[in-house]
Amino acid sequence: MPHVLIVDDDVDAGLALKHIIANEGFMVTTATTLEQAKAEVKKRMPDVILTDLMLPDGKGFEIFGDSEPPKHVEMILMTGFASMETSIEALRLGFRDYLTKPVNIQRLKSLLARIPKPCDLKEEIDTLRNELLELGRFGKLWGTSPAMQTVYEQISRVAPCNATVLITGESGTGKEMVAQTIHELSARRKNMFLALNCSAISPQLIESELFGHEKGSFTGATKDRKGYFEQASCGTLFLDEVTEMPIEMQAKLLRVLETGCIMPVGSNTVIQTDVRIVAATNRDPAKAVADGKLREDLMYRLQVFPLNLPPLRERLEDTEILAEYFLLELNRTENQRKVLTSDALDKIRSYSWPGNVRELRNAIQRAFIMADRDITAECLFNVNGGTSQSKQSNVDEIVPGMTITELENKLINKTLAHCTGNKEKSAQLLGISVKTLYNKLKITK
């Protein structure tokens, strides 16, 4: 039977938690001080430690001193003083999750029900590490560069816990792939992963999309509908481009993240939810706050664990692996055996890829369509006026010391001028999506 140690100087609260947890099928012991907790750990190492942050003789962080908790011990922090600093410190010291006092009993039960066997998750992550060494991949992500190794390490640490994650990075870097990998390495992986692009939903409908609505609550609401929070129950909800969410809606989202409760549009019924939030933005969060695009309190609530994805130009050593993977998938789908020539691979490795991984994938797909068998540099970079280094700004316009952003802006503006302002055609020529083009235009304003 799994063993839970409760560490809380509030005796009544500890006994109440003991009764609840025992009814969930756990053996439970309690301690009211840090010294007692250390003594209990010496007697028998628990499977789960549920500890208060502030204890009479120290902090719950200090049960194992300066050492990290054993890998097989599930550490859960209880605190009435939740903050971003506290959350990050808890994660750094090996805590998998935290609960805000007074403890929400339903959330506690859901958390206990989700607790995986740590050895299983460790085994899976170790398997992914082996795949990385052999194939150059980690879950849904590809690449062996030092920059991506850092990303993999961060994912490995945050995936098994329940902390909210804010992924930042340019459009096309693979933020949704990171979110999916986090979900698939978590205890929630057997439940739904849902993604919502906040910029693609009209301000009038986003509340209904998130929280659901009742029949007749507004024009067009012909039946009851569950929102994303209910649909993703016990799973993960990915909020892409969260800084594009209307500011008034951000206040409601913050309230849900703090209470775990939603109220469908047109309803007076409060619904308790258990959803992990992973959000993403291609903006600098601090600048988004300064520009009035993101509430500061929501930023702190979302980036309990911040994770930044590098642009492809900063890990060009990964481009060959990515290109070969995209081609492999196309060959499998179309039952072909097309290959990239050496000159194509040389061009792939030397090009700056302003549209990031998405641009590379689109370029491979276009070239696959045009090539008979061998995909040459000409196929890859000259498909109907598509991605082409020869079509970037003229060499004499590139000034030493010019930043990548300045060069990218020049390329975008010249392409728009060439297409007489047609954004759809410009995006096609640049090898990026129209949405990415709009995002880059917003950033350059």
Q: What are the residue ranges in the chain where pLDDT is below 70?
A: 1, 71-72, 81-89, 91-93, 114-134, 382-402, 442-445
Query: Same domain, yes or no, for 343 and 422?
Result: yes
First to last CA, the chain: 60
**Range(s) of the domain holding residue 397:** 313-444
DSSP 180: H
376 exposure class (CB count in 10 Å sphere: 0-12, 13-18, 19+):
middle
pLDDT at site 392: 41
Query: Same domain, yes or no, for 197 and 147?
Result: yes
pLDDT at site 321: 94
Q: What CATH number is given to the structural domain containing 124? A: 3.40.50.300
pLDDT at site 395: 37
Q: What is the pLDDT of residues 318-366, one digit of tens each?
A: 999 999 999 999 999 888 999 999 999 999 999 999 999 999 999 998 8
Query: Same domain, yes or no, for 317 and 300?
Result: no
Query: Same domain, yes or no, for 383 and 247?
Result: no
Query: Same domain, yes or no, for 344 and 419?
Result: yes
Query: Same domain, yes or no, for 177 and 284?
Result: yes
pLDDT at site 384: 40
Cα angle: 211, vertex 215, 219; to 5 degrees: 95
Cα separation, 438 vs 364, whole angstroms: 23
pLDDT at site 183: 93
Query: Same domain, yes or no, for 140 and 278?
Result: yes
Q: Who's near 164: CB < 8 A, 6+ residues apart?
A: 257, 276, 277, 278, 279, 301, 302, 303, 304, 305
* Identity of the amino acid at 170: E
The CA–CA distances, whole Å, from 108 to 103, 111, 257, 351 equal 7, 5, 15, 50
Q: What CATH number is given to the structural domain containing 109? A: 3.40.50.2300
Q: How many domains does the chain have?
A: 3
Cα separation, 307 vs 402, whole angstroms: 27
Query: Same domain, yes or no, for 327 and 212?
Result: no
Name the percent of the chain in helix, strand, coil, to the closest 5: 50, 15, 35
Query: Same domain, yes or no, for 139 and 246?
Result: yes
pLDDT at site 133: 56
Query: Same domain, yes or no, for 392 and 411?
Result: yes
Q: What is the pLDDT of residues 149-182, one digit of tens each?
A: 999 989 988 888 888 999 999 999 999 999 999 9
Q: Examine the fold and report which residue of 256, 284, 310 is the final residue of a domain before the chain moves on.
A: 310
Residues paired with residue 99 on neighbouring β-strands, in sequence order: 78
Q: Examine the fold and report which residue of 98, 115, 132 is the final residue of a domain before the chain moves on.
A: 115
3-class DSSP assignment, residue 316: helix
Query: Same domain, yes or no, for 303 and 212?
Result: yes
- Residue 24 token pair: 């969930």
Query: Same domain, yes or no, for 283 and 430?
Result: no
Q: Examine the fold and report which residue of 310, 332, 367 is the final residue of a domain before the chain moves on.
A: 310
